[in-house]
Amino acid sequence: MALYVQKFGGSSVADAECMQRVAQRVYDTQQAGHRVVVVLSAMGKTTDNLINLSKQVNPQPDEREMDMLLATGEQVSVAILAMALHAMGAEAVSMTGPQAGIATDSAHTKAKIMGINPERVIENLDKGRIVIVCGFQGLAPSMDVATLGRGGSDTTAVALAAALKADRCQIFTDVDGVYTADPRTVSEARKLPVIAYDEMLELASLGAKVLQSRSVEFAKKYGVELEVLTSFDRIPGTIVKEEVDDMEQIVVRGVAADKNQAKVTIQRVPDQPGVAARLFQELAAANVNVDMIVQNVSEHGITDISFTVPRDEVNRTRSTVDKLLESLGAAGATYDVDIAKISIVGVGMRSHSGVAYRMFEALSNNKINVEMISTSEIKISVVIRSAYADQAVQVLHKAFELDQANA
Amino acid sequence: MALYVQKFGGSSVADAECMQRVAQRVYDTQQAGHRVVVVLSAMGKTTDNLINLSKQVNPQPDEREMDMLLATGEQVSVAILAMALHAMGAEAVSMTGPQAGIATDSAHTKAKIMGINPERVIENLDKGRIVIVCGFQGLAPSMDVATLGRGGSDTTAVALAAALKADRCQIFTDVDGVYTADPRTVSEARKLPVIAYDEMLELASLGAKVLQSRSVEFAKKYGVELEVLTSFDRIPGTIVKEEVDDMEQIVVRGVAADKNQAKVTIQRVPDQPGVAARLFQELAAANVNVDMIVQNVSEHGITDISFTVPRDEVNRTRSTVDKLLESLGAAGATYDVDIAKISIVGVGMRSHSGVAYRMFEALSNNKINVEMISTSEIKISVVIRSAYADQAVQVLHKAFELDQANA
């Protein structure tokens, strides 16, 4: 008898029919002899509709009241699923985040989970009940409900799985797992049976929108085994877990493209201590998320600094940079939105050499020019022209034999 | 500086625009120098929509889960009103029933308020805030939210007013007060500036759907002064309060017609002890709400028993009565749905004699035959043919000079 935490997102619980499908799946898990805790998001467009309603009375609603409002979405979901389970003859009980013992900090609309006291959940599991918990919310120290920010239901599920020492946390979504590459770009893309936390984290930050980074970090921290799978089909998904030795046999786990980046180049900056620090300090103050940073080899004390930012932060970047140019002593700045960031990820890179070389060679053989390079222990990212993004992913997928089952 | 509890029903908070109108009204009350606690129902058709959703997954939803579901309706309302007030520059905070300290019993979907600890409400009032509380809900001993049943928001308002020792509890609705008769029937009907609790209770039970009986009983018990008024216009409503001496100057406060009754007659029953007891015990067991009961004068040990029941309980009554007829020794039973119950109500009846006579004479002068009579200390009800219901109300309104301002 295992303990499963099963999380279903908004599209999995969009209407009454979806609820019945979810109920059947949950009930089947219990009937197979397991204990089940379910975490739900709000139904379909509920959260968006509530936000729209709030904007009609106040363009900048108070965050504490926003949480009061949005927390109702999940509360509707859990009650409806409990009713659907009852109709099947199952024993089930719904709980709000506060009732499930989820305590958060005071940062309304973007709260962090501070701790979980799962006493009431365990008590009900011990009575043979399926326990259904509102995702995305908890109780702030003020005794008000606080939400974890959008997508936070994954985090609720992982945190509950950690607190309950669950055997597995299953995240049901509208994709059926994590792939070696986006199947819309690479027809040979394969679903990965297993992936390490760190690989998933790198892929999540690269725009593979399967799991929220925060929930993967949480899972890694507490050693919760995750499974990503679809609620629309009964097939195994991808398991995200602790890195084990034989995972390193595979050099590259996946290839990802991020087409929402822009490249900024500050031209001819004096190569002096403090210049870069000043630049990136001001950008951080302006809430710009800088990703890759490359400084070219200095020539006669003058250098170029290039970095990438999310495309929708280019305007904010420009207004910050333009004000700084003179005081930095720079010649000017260029803003290039026609780029893409292509990355290969794999824990095997730690023990395999020559990976970067194989990547650059594959791209070069296909006449794809590399403009920036950035590496971490388990990831290599390059910036190229956006027009070549799909081709680059295909080329790398093939070069690292990701279409092979044992790759 | 007075303390007002202001309650707004579903039609007063149907959409964002209504919310803004309510916010303005509430804010004006505070700006006039008063402290304000607001109690809200769910917006427009929200509760009905949630019930419909539940029926799609379970025809007989669990009551604890039903409360989990329905409690969200009021929670949306209070958050939206708080936001609307903030947009006007007001200080305001929303609270669920449990947060406002409202404790109920365990009877989910029809809970009773057991007590209120208004500490948090007072704390926020003391900070100069408008406090907005979810109507219709509280915290059950199990630490689950429980609802008071439909229309229970009035009760929440009155109970809060009692706990806070408020100066007045204003119930905003879609009618602008309590009238001497239904204005659709009697064009001369006048809005009453004031009415006694007991009169209001009799009128409420007679089908004048202005206030829930339960909330009036509560108001009477705790001496809370109520005002019924419209949220769509800024005119005074009707004050419902403790009976005072000069109220007795007026013999009849109002005339009401109840057209949803049916008359049942059990024919030729042996006039023996226990027969009536047995009959009404069985009807109570079948959940039939018997109203008026009349037993004719016994002749040769045989009698007829007549009583009235709500028209939609006639079938349930029939199946209960038909099974009993033989064992009661009765000859048969008749069921008559073409009746109406006409009542006159007034605390002045206590000190004035001849009221019944004046009523019967007025009806008789207009050839309206009286079939049943029932009296209480402050009410006289008669059953007549339903075809004459409107005419009877008009005749009595005139006979007791209810069109006169000082009546």
CB-based contact (8 Å) between B56 and chain A?
yes
* Low-confidence winner among A313-322, B219-228, B282-291, B313-322 (lowest mean pLDDT): B282-291
Of the CA atoms within 13 Å of residue A344, those in its CB half-sphere come to 28
Range of the domain at A45: 3-174
CB-based contact (8 Å) between B86 and chain A?
yes
In a domain, B273, yes or no: no
| Contact residues on chain A for B19, CB-CB shorter than 8 A | 57
pLDDT in tens, B153-162: 999 999 999 9
| ipTM entry | 0.82
Question: Which among A68, A139, A143 is the top mutation candidate for probing chain B, defined by the most B β-carbons within 10 Å of its own β-carbon?
Answer: A68
Q: Which residue bears the tokens 């069109």?
A: B403
Asked whether residue A208 carries a pLDDT value surpassing 80, the answer given is no
**How many other β-carbons are positioned within 10 Å of the β-carbon of residue A292?**
18
CB-based contact (8 Å) between B94 and chain A?
yes
Contact A57 B23 (CB under 8 A): yes
In a domain, B16, yes or no: yes
| Contact residues on chain A for B64, CB-CB shorter than 8 A | 93
According to the model, what pLDDT value does residue B407 have? 46
CA distance A161 to chain B (A): 23
Contact B87 A57 (CB under 8 A): yes
Asked whether residue A407 carries a pLDDT value surpassing 60, the answer given is no
Nearest CB neighbour to A62, from listed B53, B65, B83: B83
**How many other β-carbons are positioned within 10 Å of the β-carbon of residue A318?**
15
pLDDT in tens, A337-379: 999 999 999 998 888 888 989 999 999 999 999 999 988 889 9
Interval B304-321 mean pLDDT: 93
Contact B76 A50 (CB under 8 A): yes
Name the 3-class secondary structure at A338: coil
Instruction: Name residues 206-225 of chain B within 8 A of A (Cβ).
Output: none
Q: Which of B42, B89, B16, B23 is nearest to A62 (CA)?
A: B89
| Contact residues on chain B for A139, CB-CB shorter than 8 A | none
Contact B84 A16 (CB under 8 A): no
CA distance B81 to chain A (A): 8
Find the closest chain B residue to A96 by CA distance: B68
Q: Which of B362, B170, B128 is nearest to B251 (CA)?
A: B362
Contact A58 B16 (CB under 8 A): no
pLDDT in tens, A153-176: 999 999 999 999 999 999 998 888
According to the model, what pLDDT value does residue A334 have? 94
Task: Establish, for the pair of chains A and B, how many residue pairs have beta carbons separated by less than 8 Å.
Answer: 104
Interval B95-112 mean pLDDT: 95
According to the model, what pLDDT value does residue B35 have? 98
Instruction: Give residue A235's pLDDT band: very low, low, confident or very high (50, 70, 90).
Output: very high
Find the closest chain B residue to A14 by CA distance: B53
Nearest CB neighbour to A82, from listed B59, B62, B99: B62
Per-residue tokens: B326: 């033989």
Contact A62 B144 (CB under 8 A): no
Find the closest chain B residue to A80 by CA distance: B54
According to the model, what pLDDT value does residue B333 have? 94
CA distance A21 to chain B (A): 11
Asked whether residue A1 carries a pLDDT value surpassing 90, the answer given is no
Contact A86 B53 (CB under 8 A): no
CB proximity list for B27: less than 8 A, separation 6 or greater: B85, B88, B90, B130
Contact A72 B69 (CB under 8 A): no
In a domain, B148, yes or no: yes
In a domain, B160, yes or no: yes
Find the closest chain A residue to B17 by CA distance: A57
Per-residue tokens: B315: 């079938």
CB proximity list for B179: less than 8 A, separation 6 or greater: B189, B190, B191, B192, B254
Instruction: Give residue A206's pLDDT band: very low, low, confident or very high (50, 70, 90).
Output: low
According to the model, what pLDDT value does residue B150 have? 59
CATH of the domain at A97: 3.40.1160.10
Name the 3-class secondary structure at B279: helix
What is the model's pTM?
A: 0.84
Q: Are B402 and B190 in contact (CB under 8 A)?
A: yes
| Contact residues on chain A for B75, CB-CB shorter than 8 A | 68-69, 71-72, 75
Q: Tell me the pLDDT of chain B averaged across its residues.
A: 92
Of these ranges, A132-141, A235-244, A303-312, the one predicted with the greatest mean pLDDT is A132-141
- Alpha carbons B379 and B355: distance in angstroms, whole number: 10
In a domain, B188, yes or no: no
CB-based contact (8 Å) between A87 and chain B?
yes
Find the closest chain B residue to A84 by CA distance: B57
CA distance A235 to chain B (A): 25
According to the model, what pLDDT value does residue B214 have? 82
According to the model, what pLDDT value does residue A253 have? 92
Contact B57 A87 (CB under 8 A): yes
- Alpha carbons B407 and A379: distance in angstroms, whole number: 90
| Contact residues on chain A for B69, CB-CB shorter than 8 A | 75-76, 79-80, 83
In a domain, A45, yes or no: yes
pLDDT: which is higher, B310 or A1: B310
* Low-confidence winner among A65-79, A342-356, B278-292, B293-307 (lowest mean pLDDT): B293-307
- Alpha carbons B309 and A399: distance in angstroms, whole number: 85
Question: What is the rounded radius of gyration, in angstroms, for the C-alpha atoms of chain B?
Answer: 24
In a domain, A135, yes or no: yes
Residues in chain A, overall count: 407
Instruction: Looking at A11-128, list the stretches that DSSP marks H as alpha helix, in order from N- to C-terminal side.
Output: 16-31, 46-57, 63-87, 119-126
CB-based contact (8 Å) between A147 and chain B?
no
Contact B144 A83 (CB under 8 A): no
According to the model, what pLDDT value does residue B202 have? 87
Contact B80 A54 (CB under 8 A): yes
| Contact residues on chain B for A56, CB-CB shorter than 8 A | 16
Paired sense of beta strands B168-173 and B3-8, if any: parallel
Domain count, chain A: 1
Name the 3-class secondary structure at B268: strand
Instruction: Give residue A321's pLDDT band: very low, low, confident or very high (50, 70, 90).
Output: very high
Contact B69 A79 (CB under 8 A): yes
In a domain, A373, yes or no: no
